Structure formats: C-alpha cells, structure tokens
Amino acid sequence: MSKPKIALTIAGTDPTGGAGVMADLKSFHACGVYGMAAITSIVAQNTKGVQHIHNLETEWLSEQLASVYDDELPQALKTGMIASREMMQLIQSYLKQYPEIPYVIDPVMLAKSGDSLMDDDAKADLQRILLPYATVATPNLPEAEEITQLKIDSEAMIYKAGHMFINDIGSKGVVIKGGHAEDSEYAKDYLFTKEGVHIFKEPRYETKHTHGTGCTFSAVITAELAKGKSIYEAVKKAKHFISLSIKHTPEIGMGRGPVNHFAYMKKVGLDDE
C-alpha cells in the first residue's frame, strides 16, 4: 500500500461539523487524502449562527504546528479562520521555510450567517502577511471587495479584482467565487493566474443549506494540490465537488445547514482520477 498524500488545515472549529477544520477533514477524506489539523479558534456556532469565539493563544498554535512539522510534512496546507497578526506571522514563518508546499488561503471574514469573524486590522494583516504567499486564494465576492476595496458589481470588476490579487498583492492564483451573484442560473467562479483566466460554472441550486461551502471548496483544492495536480485541475474538481455537495445537502439544523461533504465520493467514487 502506497503512502497517502497529506493535507494540513489551520483553522477554527465548528462543533456542528459543517465548517472549519471539521469540514476540511471531511473534504480531505472524500478526496482520498489524509488530513491533519491545527486549531486557531474554538467557535461556538451552529446552523443558526455564531454564538461565541474563543481565540487560542498563538503559543498554542505554535506548539501544534511544531508537532506536525517535526513528524511529517504535509504535501499541501490551507488556512481558514486566523485570529490575530501574531498567528499570521507564525504561519508565514512556515510558508517561508517550506516554499515548495502549496498553500491555499480561504480568507474567512464572515460566517454564512453574516457574523463577522475578523476585525478591520486583521483584514489588513491578512493581505500583507499571508496573501502574497498563496498558491491559491479563494475569496467570495464580499471578501474580494474587502481585500481589494473595489465595488465588485460586474464581470469587468471581477476581472479587475482578480488581476489585483495576482499583480499587486502577489498571490499565484485566486478564485473569485461568484456564488453571491444572483443574476444567473449558473454559479460562476473565476480563476486568475499569471497564465490567464478560466471560468468554471455549475447549475445554481435554490437552497439555504450552504453552510461551509467556502471551507469545503478550498479544502478540495488543497487536497488536489497535495496530489500534485495543477491549480487548474484542482479548482475544476473543487467546483464540481461543491456543486454536488450543495445539490445533495443533508438538511441538517434549523438554520443554514451544511453541505454534503461525501456527495462527490458517492457519485463518482475515489477512482475517478
């Protein structure tokens, strides 16, 4: 039996399992990749919203990362909710030390319920400290607006924002997710790299159960990069994966329920590569 590929997630928790490291680990598993996790924040949340956030001390995150990297290097890593500048600087030190390891950043700023997960200073720190090291960044439209300070209300502005990520901020790739746009029967995502622009589209499904879509989407990209896939291939799979996850939601919770992290695996199996 060959040694499995490993993906690492650095993010907050969701006790109901729909988002954060819980969603990441499920998504890694569904892609046939072994998942590891380091916790940044303990979040009391459910499908109805975020009730409490307890950010861990940076030293605690440092101890977790030291344990992981001292034992087994991941083939790719992603970050989700990052609580402080100090945590970002700690993560940056690993990105500098291991530049060959692909890095996916999901710039988590808002929960699906609309609750803010990051203050203004942290948003600025994210752009300065972590985004320049990203192999792929995965902002949705509101997050892309926060980062670029652009009003993204047209496809032309999506292109302008995407080029800002690549040419000004320094990310190798960025997927600006168009799921928040409601003027189309398709959900379109725009991938920007130095090589060009690719548009991925899948049918839009009418459902309120979209909790954890950002975490899941970025986790699949991370898992595919861990396998050695290109950015294009990783994003293409992630787009189809998240579409099936939304189409076949498990209908859990009283609010915005989670997506189905195993819909893709059940649909096409693990041998589709």
Is 35 considered catalytic here? Answer: no
Is 135 considered catalytic here? Answer: no
Is 255 considered catalytic here? Answer: no
Is 212 considered catalytic here? Answer: yes
Instruction: Measure Cα distances from 56 to 11, 64, 185, 232, 242 in Å.
Output: 11, 11, 41, 35, 30
Name residue, tokens 């940056």: 92
Annotated active-site residue in 5, 177, 188, 237: 177
Residue type for position 34: Y
Annotated active-site residue in 12, 35, 212, 257: 212
What three-state secondary structure class fits 257?
Answer: coil
Annotated active-site residue in 16, 18, 138, 215: 215
Annotated active-site residue in 210, 216, 222, 249: 210
Q: Edge-to-edge, what's the strand order for the sheet holding 186-193? A: 34-39, 6-11, 76-79, 103-105, 136-137, 173-177, 186-193, 196-203
Name the burial class of residue 59, with classes exposed (0-12), middle (13-18) and buried (19+) by CB atoms within 10 angstroms of its CB. Answer: exposed
Is 249 considered catalytic here? Answer: no
Annotated active-site residue in 35, 178, 214, 257: 214
Instruction: Measure Cα distances from 138 to 20, 64, 143 in Å.
Output: 14, 25, 9
Cα separation, 238 vs 28, whole angstroms: 11
Whether residue 30 contacts residue 248, with contact meaning beta carbons closer than 8 Å, is answered with no
Name the burial class of residue 62, with classes exposed (0-12), middle (13-18) and buried (19+) by CB atoms within 10 angstroms of its CB. Answer: middle
Annotated active-site residue in 13, 213, 216, 249: 213
Name residue, tokens 């803010």: 116
CA 14 from centre of chain: 14
Is 47 considered catalytic here? Answer: no
Catalytic residues: 177, 210, 212-215
